[in-house]
Structure 1
């Protein structure tokens, strides 16, 4: 041993010379203070170097370095309490060492580590145990549920989410038969699905409601050892889906209760949705049923095809258009309809297609036309009154003006009274005709 190295405690001195045990002293920074000959040879350490410059983890497998640092820190934070760890080293040949590390007292600034090399079989068992523990910790950390049963339906593994969902603790399930805890009843989807996976050795996926709070999508994977079941909580998605389906049912009920024809058409002119009235019109006008996926062009009258394509393309470009036009009925009569085209977007703003709404406005339109006819009649009457009646009245007013010039030459009171009466009546009639003309102009 090179001079200047710290003195080995008497109790540990025999170990420093042991050919079977590995012995080392390590400071708080994780560097070697001392390493006995077997450890030096095993890890190919150079005794000519100052050990304090050699990190104790320099040959460790990268996956074990964090564990070593953790145990080293525990030694100093919990003096006198042994810390155990199994560390793999990467030297000329893979080496695995089982260590026990401990500090001598509260004031010690180094720890002593005693270890022995594991046989290849023991190292393999340790690695397998490490991988198993890592896999178990992974299963407990994931948000998915997991459990596994052997070929006898005995629980061999469950994770924390399955504990929470099932209501059973892990120790209550491991070693128990699956069907003892979860009955094999026909109304539960899991029963038939797990039986099918077991009997056919095929992966089976299904949805499993778990009242009151959960809904899962489950996949069952068979193997020679048994069944592994993974389940994902889709409660939020299912709740959203049910709410969406409920909204769709209500919307369809509203659309089906209206007397308007309503059709949602994709950009490539395929039927995406339609209401009951649209189905009725398709049978009446085209003698065929309408279905989702149909080419909508076959439900457009040839004489209106050009106008339809024009307004449809305007709606695809984001425009909303409304037109009124008469359309022929099967019996040959003409009925007026209002046709509304407008774009329909998803919540994300993506164009879904064009909605076409057709409203029968025949009653309203014919009433409007009748009112227009009546208005034209009134205008005609006003014209007659303003021109045909106005001309004679103008003559009367002219004669009255002449008679008024002779008024002073006549002393007959009765004659004068008649002249005044005619003059007043003629002017009142003139005012009435003027009001009629002004009213019709407004």
Structure 2
């Protein structure tokens, strides 16, 4: 079979994913080179390889299999097309990594070695293969007018014009307005369009516009020909819109991936099979102070402290020996400034097409701050545990299933229940008595409302009054319990004492009241209120200034300010105060004591006053004074007035004749005795009158 001399004039681009064994892109020009369609090749991956000459297949297969990443090879071989045509192929292959999928991708650029015939080619020989059967748009335009003279079927299909419509257009008409200037510039630079048999002229990629206005990116190749005796240009426009879109998408994916890698706060490194760095991302370089040229090609030991080099080597060997296995590593890495960083890594091996490990990839992060925080959290937790254990208040935590998760020793002691019997068990199972108690109701209310609660209740099983504070959280409930039994009893006793004292104070006739430093009433017993109201006609009010009480004159106000002031300065003293009964207008006398009130720190905060009505006592004392005066008068009378007649009586009796009672002298003596007795009777009457007669 002869080699075809009229071959396609454009390259065919084919992109093949070697990992998934599928085609990602096939240029439509494939039919012009291989004689098959893209759909045929997509349905049969081996169709292309089967078309290669059997004597060349082995060498081509070996050459492709030995390609390294980013390595290219140019292959020359013969193919047999389904149309029984033998063609000499130039196949440029390049193996790359698709950054979006990390797959290996084989990019092939295929062209035919033979050149088209130029000059005065006959229409039949030219159009039979190159023109009519070409899958790409092909047209002939007049060199002078740039009018279309002939178009193939592919052109009408791609651009939407009929053949007749095309023949009414020029090259400018199939371009968007913004491209007209570029076209004119190109045409002026290539105005000769010389007919040459040497090669096609590549015009590059142009933006065309279809009849519907859709933009088509076309890779245009041309050469000068003679057509119907006129100087013309034959152009082949390969639609590369999909290719450019794919390249643009691949470029965006690559940019995105690079941006993603560079923006990572994690470290990303790759190490080849010999332990040398082949890639490090920016975060790694930034953290440890290197630049890429210092690390790429260097052994990983350069970034490892000697004490932990064996850990890194063991992880590397483990990773290489176990493809697909994730190997974890925690170790310290030094930076160039002398600092040490705790790092956490995950390594996994990367294999080539034959399954052999070619690299090790590692993703890591600086956990120095994390470990510091964890240590601080642990220390804080330990301190909290120690604090919880040291507090005298009972403390426990239950989860959302009402199970004990933490109990302190105070709660153990209060309930007389070992924590082993509580931890992990449900609160209601350990203490079923509280299900229907105030405790149970409060807990359920707190869970329902998700609000903290505080309550005090007597817990009969342990004979204790408990003050409970419960705080809900997402994990459960934290409860503080304080045994206030002694405090409760003290409160009850204080209440009883206070009640008794108030009853005692209010049942006494003495007046008791107190004022603060501003001399405002703080406390008044009933007796004081009644007496003050009786004397002034106005009831005193707690909180009001005592010295401004209505019913007293300004003189009395000033007098009481002076009394209070002395006590507020620390003096304790007693006065006798006189008041006038508002109804009887008689004087009333009160004994008032002023006593400073001190705080525990020794500061005076007020004055306590006690007043007793001593009017009756003073009256009795005056009566006693009067009585004593009378007694003194009686004594005086007794000593002066009675003594003389009594002495006379005693003298008369002593001279009386006691042996002869009828002695005439006795009669005279008896007459004198009667006289003296009358004197004594007068004195006695005077004494009696002095004794029972009031003088005041």
Q: Which TM-score band (shorter chain)?
A: 0.5 to 0.7
Residue 229 of structure 1, CA deviation: 1.5
Instruction: Let me know the Cα RMSD of the aligned residues.
Output: 5.2
Q: Match of 2:468, SS?
A: strand
CA contact (8 A) 1:202 1:221 kept: yes
Cα distance in 1 for residues equivalent to 2:612 and 2:423:
67
Match for 1:322 among 570, 575, 579? 575
Provide closer, same or farther for how the CA distance between residues 382 and 299 of structure 1 changes in structure 2, counting only shifts above 3 A. Answer: farther
1:367 aligns with 2:632: no
Q: Which residue of 2 aligns with 1:68?
A: none
Is the contact between residue 332 and residue 340 of structure 2 (CA under 8 Å) also seen in structure 1?
no
How big is the shift at 1:323?
0.9
CA contact (8 A) 1:329 1:335 kept: no
1:8 corresponds to: none
For 1:307, what is the secondary structure of its paired residue?
Answer: helix
Relative to structure 1, the CA distance from residue 133 to residue 185 in structure 2 (aligned partners, 3 Å threshold; closer, same or farther) is same
Equivalent of 1:295 in 535, 545, 568: 545
Measure, in 2, the Cα distance between the counterparts of 1:208 and 1:308. 49
Which string of whole-angstrom CA distances, capped at 9 and with x for unpartnered residues, describes residues 127-181 of structure 1?
5777656644443333332111223333222222222223333233233333442
CA contact (8 A) 2:519 2:564 kept: no
Deviation at 1:376, TM superposition (A): 6.1
Give 1:289 shift. Answer: 5.0
How many equivalent pairs are there? 318
Aligned-residue offset at 1:348: 5.4
**1 CA distance for matches of 2:550 and 2:609?**
12
| Equivalent residue for 2:531, pick from 254, 278, 281 | 281
Contact 2:597 2:608 in 1 (8 A): yes
- The corresponding residue for 2:25 is none
Give the structure with higher Rg (CA).
2
Q: Does 1:351 align with 2:604?
A: yes
1:318 positional shift:
2.0
Tell me which residue corresponds to 1:93: 340
| Correspondence for 2:472 | 222
Secondary structure, in 3 states, of the residue corresponding to 1:268?
coil
SS of the equivalent of 1:329 reads coil
Which of the two has greater strand per residue?
Answer: 2
- C-alpha displacement of 1:262: 0.9
1:23 corresponds in structure 2 to none
| Partner residue, 1:340 | 593
The aligned counterpart of 2:403 is 154
> 1:210 & 1:136 partners in 2: Cα distance?
27
Is the partner of 2:340 in helix, strand or coil? coil
Change (3 A) 1:173 1:384: closer
Normalising by structure 1, what TM-score?
0.54
Give the Å deviation of 1:263.
0.9
Partner Cα distance (1:376, 1:141) in 2? 79
Q: What's the offset of the Cα at 1:359?
A: 1.7
Aligned-partner Cα distance in 2 for 1:341–1:132 = 57
The 8 Å contact of residues 305 and 332 in structure 2, kept in 1 or not, is answered as no
Q: Distance in 1 between matches of 2:581 and 2:471?
A: 63
The CA distance in 2 between the partners of 1:166 and 1:213, in whole Å, is 10
- Provide the C-alpha distance between the structure 1 equivalents of 2:339 and 2:564, rounded to a whole number of angstroms: 77
User: How does the TM-score come out when normalised to structure 2?
Assistant: 0.36
User: 1:53: which partner in 2?
Assistant: none
Deviation, 1:382, is: 8.8
| Distance change (3 Å), C-alpha of 1:299 and 1:126 | closer
Please tell me whether residue 139 in structure 1 is matched to residue 388 in structure 2: yes
Is the alpha carbon distance of 1:130 and 1:426 closer, same or farther for their aligned partners in structure 2, counting shifts above 3 Å?
A: closer
Q: How far apart, CA to CA, are the structure 2 residues paired with 1:131 and 1:294? A: 53
The 5 A counterparts of 1:247-266 are: 247-266=497-516
Equivalent-residue separation in structure 1 for 2:595 and 2:379 (angstroms): 63
- Alpha carbons of 1:130 and 1:366: their partners in 2 closer, same or farther (altered >3 Å)? closer
> Offset at 1:228?
1.1
How many angstroms does 1:281 deviate by?
3.0
Contact 2:595 2:608 in 1 (8 A): yes
Can you give the 5+ residue segments of structure 2 that lack an aligned partner in the other structure? 1-303, 310-330, 345-365, 649-663, 692-696
SS of the aligned residue for 2:421 comes to helix
How do residues 95-174 of structure 1 correspond to structure 2 at under 5 angstroms?
Answer: 95=342, 135-174=384-423
Partner of 1:307 in structure 2? 559
Q: Is the 8 A contact 2:521 2:545 kept in 1?
A: yes
Give the equivalent residue in structure 2 for 1:75.
Answer: none
Against the structure 1 CA distance between its residues 153 and 381, is the aligned structure 2 distance closer, same or farther, given a 3 Å change threshold?
A: same
The structural deviation recorded for 1:373 is 5.0
Whether 1:41 aligns to 2:294 is no
Distance 1:341 1:138, change over 3 A: closer
Q: 1:140 to 1:290 in 2, by over 3 A?
A: same
